[in-house]
Amino acid sequence: MARLIASTPCAGLLPRTIGAVTLTEVMLGPVTSVAPFRDKSEAVTAALAVEGLRFPTPGETLTSGPARIIWAGHGRALLCGVEPPLALSALAALTDQTDASATVRIDGDQAQAVLARLVPVDLRQQIFPEGATARTIVGHMTASVTRVGPLAFEVMVMRSMAATLVHELSEAAIGVAAR
């Protein structure tokens, strides 16, 4: 039986360095959408304690060792890096989203300036510190944008739009670099 070979959303497109920013593809490990059922939010938080996490508040990301949880909209978060704890399955709709997204990390002095060309959200450090996340748009794409460092962000879009994401980020970076 032939083996199936995995490929990544941005295969062949990244990494790229343009001016003062570098674009790299990020593999988040297993990604599970966690959407607590009615009145189960506290129980979900309790179940997530196994991983040193809790259910995030809007706009929040939590990290504990390899496990991360990213707020992803109304009553929903993405648990990344670990398989969901067994106890969660009765408490929340768990949906495998490992392959649903393309995630690109943008690093560098001009990272915020490049994103300011595409994202209509206030990304200033004092408003959007490390760990802050937003569901927003990048150009014409719905996206999740998270600050992962003073000069670094992760941008997540639908997997099928990986090429457009790389194109948009690259074009914005070229314009910023040319200034």
Q: How far apart are CA 129 and CA 60, in angstroms?
A: 10
The nearer residue to other proteins, 52 or 109, going by C-beta atoms, is: 109
Residue 85 C-beta: closest distance to other proteins, Å: 17
Q: What does the DSSP 8-state code read for residue 1?
A: -
Which residue type sits at 176?
V
36, β-bridge pairs: 92
Residue 158 C-beta: closest distance to other proteins, Å: 5
77, β-bridge pairs: 34, 71
Q: Which residues bind other proteins (CB under 8 A)?
A: 1-9, 33, 35, 37-38, 74-76, 92-101, 116-117, 119-122, 124, 126-127, 139-141, 158-164, 167-168, 171-172, 174-175, 177-179
The nearer residue to other proteins, 118 or 152, going by C-beta atoms, is: 118
CA angle, corner 28, sides to 55 and 106, nearest 5?
Answer: 105
Residue 109 C-beta: closest distance to other proteins, Å: 14
